[in-house]
Structure 1
Amino acid sequence: MRILFFLLIIFLLPLNAHAKLIKSFSDEVVRQTLQTVYNQCRSDTSGKVADYIPALAKGDPKHFGIVICTVDGKMYKIGDTDVTFAIESISKIFSLALALEDAGRETILKNVGVYHTGLPFNSIIASDVREVILQNPLVNVGAITTTSYINGTDSNDKWRRELDKFNLFAGRKLTVMEDVFRSEAETNQHNRALAWQFSSFGYLKGDPDDATLRYTRACSVGITCKDLAVMGATLANQGCNPVTGKQVVKKEFVRDILSVMTIAGLYDSTGPFFFRTGLPAKSGVGGGIVAVVPGRFAIATFSPPLDKFGNSARGVKAMTKLSENLELHVLNP
């Protein structure tokens, strides 16, 4: 009997440890932590609203919001969480989800790569100064190349399928911010040059201009901080939207997406960001950042002023403090 009892304890210990790992923090702890971090970061006036895209220059530098969405759909929010802003480069991870399903992991690895370039996200010389031509799905040329592998009968059908995927991640119908799209389409000559460069290398599929236009349209989709938290929580929940219960992306590709976010999610500052927070994340010049705590929840922040790397200054600060206060670093034993 004692032996049986002893074996039962040994068997249950790992289960108990796992239960503690996935157990959510109490509502009070989360709300107090959010309030504290929000108050600490709200007064930060560093950074500058993106102005190289005219429509983005209209962003209100005072806007600031934080949302946490758990894998069971519970949401905690504070600040400007209902303000619509352009998803910008955060769109790259959701376009990647569709491209992985359409083309497969090996095609993306072979034609886009998962290399950290060590150079700016829009570098035109990255493929010339490095031994490896390929880059990754989160720099501009990699995202455009990734977009080219989305299937469809024509350009409109490809875009429809991409927006449908975004809608599934958000759990509601999203729309393009047409003023942002027009502004970006009129100033995307550099991205078109990058697309033609990779087309000349033989990596990009189809018409480079069409892929660039669809990439630009994806960056112009309007979301709120709440939308972004749900989209991130879908990745935290193995590809299943915690609000709608729908499987949005195959489980086998969630690890790939989170890995790429860890490699290059915050442009040139991805290394320092992961070192401090230990979280796979993605930022956009519209002021949003989403970070994923696998199996538990996602954190979304919104604040337009950007640091020198193109990341929301308040957002990076808030993510760092939340990770420290809630001990979220994925490498922390």
Structure 2
Amino acid sequence: MLVIVKTNLFGLTLQDVDALVDRLVMPRYRARQVMRWLYTHHASSIGQMTNISRNDRRILSEIAEIRVRSAHECRTSADGTKKYTFETDRGDLIETALIPDGRRLTLCISSQVGCRVGCRFCATGAMRLRGNLSAGEILNQYRSIPERETVTNIVYMGMGEPLDNLNAVVASVQLLTGEAGYGLGKRRITLSTVGKPEPLARFLERCDVRLAVSLHTPFQEQRRRLLPGTRGYDLDELLRLLRARAREDSRRVSFEYVMLKDINDSLEHADATARLLTGMQTRINLIPFHPWAGNDMQPASGAQIERFRARLEHRGLTATVRATRGVDIQAACGLLATQQPSPAPIPVNG
């Protein structure tokens, strides 16, 4: 029996809907009507689009639908952080964190099921890559939480490497920030990436949002061991791209640095990081490592993190220590994972 899979309207850009409307020989203004119903009125069915003629709704319903999903599960931390679990169209599970911090409410969204970069300190990386999310599945993490209207910031820092799912991530960013989508301010969106130069350059040509680069060590060979998915390009190549961007855009790039005991927390590492980033207007976010089952790495002590931070500041960089939130529900940085990770011990000392 032939099963017809209908097009999911949710996650389509204005260009996509324009093409669909044109194919169905409908008036061109129908596309903007559909977009308003999707992203302004949050319609969950084509039948709700009451300013579209009944006949056009019928025609559209024959080939398309709106697929949005409520959270599969929600857990709340003692510190107020929430972790939502969503099911994808393929039946995989992904996790999303909602992090309160004073007046800020940050939504940390996923772009993939698992991740192929395989960062040795990250539970998501230990899952390996199971699949990419569609633009609609990425956006659904924002669309389907009850706190949507009070979210102040959205960060692509959940499961996955966003640039390994470039087209869907670009579409989702454009829908979050575009006037035909949700219309959120571009400064409210941050994309976190290990920084593969070629897809990063393509992303920067199409999207203008904040950027956070996962650094974690200033030493090239150690970085390749800590972040196996970065093999094949040099830090120098990445930094040339980032410096070129900085000449065109006053917004500074931030760098993320997970603090691992006796691996990357020495003052030698701090000095080398300062040398690497000389001349860049940037901020270093130092992230305490959060241990997880099957990984034998240890977090740097609070005192050592403070020494590292002070050394960076002394060398002229702005450095902050990220507050730990959601550890008790496995929602903190590096802990999102929907299957038991399998450890793969590799020497990572510099």
Normalising by the smaller structure, the TM-score range is: under 0.3
Which fold has the larger relative contact order, with Cα–Cα distance below 8 Å and residues 6 or more apart in sequence?
1
Query: Greater share of helix residues, 1 or 2?
Result: 1
TM, length-normalised to structure 1: 0.24
Query: Greater share of strand residues, 1 or 2?
Result: 2
Bigger radius of gyration: 2
TM, length-normalised to structure 2: 0.23
